[in-house]
Amino acid sequence: MIVVSDTSAISNLYQIGLIDVLKDLYGQIVISPGVHHELSRVQAQADFLFETDWIIVKHPTDQLLLKKLLDQLDLGESESIVLAIELKAEYLIIDERLGRSIATEYGIQITGILGVLIQAKKLGLIDNVSDKITALREIGLWLNDKLIKHVLDSLGEI
């Protein structure tokens, strides 16, 4: 299974101590050089990336598409979308609304941090999603209240 990830899910899961959930769910994650650079701004994350063997950096090759996407998105998101297309990824993990919308327009199957947590709970990798959402909010991640209520209700956590 090929899974490409943008920065936010990796960074946020790392910060709340759940980064291994990505490995447990997908085995390997592909990131772009732009995402690697964004993650490496935090020394602990840079050290983690250096030590891990399951997060792989690949360079996108379609420079025309990359340039087009850069008109609307940042480098990490743009490269991630191009990689997902080029690698025929099963999923692109991306949370930003515009990036998700554009990825969907290109036929890319997307998920986000909440989707990762839902899948992790369904597979028994985590006990609940509610506590993880609280932890994510504590580190400053904004999550839509309506969406959270829907997710927690669907999981029987409300």
pLDDT digits 0-9 by tens, 137-148: 999 999 999 999
For position 46, what pLDDT does the model report? 85
Phi-psi map region of 26: left, alpha, beta (phi>0 left; psi -120 to 50 alpha):
alpha
Report how far residue 79's alpha carbon sits from residue 86's, in angstroms, rounded to the nearest whole number: 10
Report how far residue 14's alpha carbon sits from residue 19's, in angstroms, rounded to the nearest whole number: 5
Write down the pTM of the prediction.
Answer: 0.93
Q: pLDDT digit string (tens) for 51-70?
A: 999 999 999 999 999 999 99
What end-to-end distance do the CA atoms of the chain give, in Å? 33
6: enclosing H helix or E strand:
none
CB neighbours (10 Å) of residue 61?
10
The parts of the chain modelled with pLDDT lower than 50 are none
Q: pLDDT digit string (tens) for 67-81?
A: 999 999 999 999 999
Domain annotation for the chain: domains and CATH numbers: 3-114 (3.40.50.1010)
The β-bridge partners of 4 are 30, 92
Sheet holding 3-5, edge to edge: 55-57, 29-31, 3-5, 91-93, 110-111
For position 42, what pLDDT does the model report? 86
For position 158, what pLDDT does the model report? 82
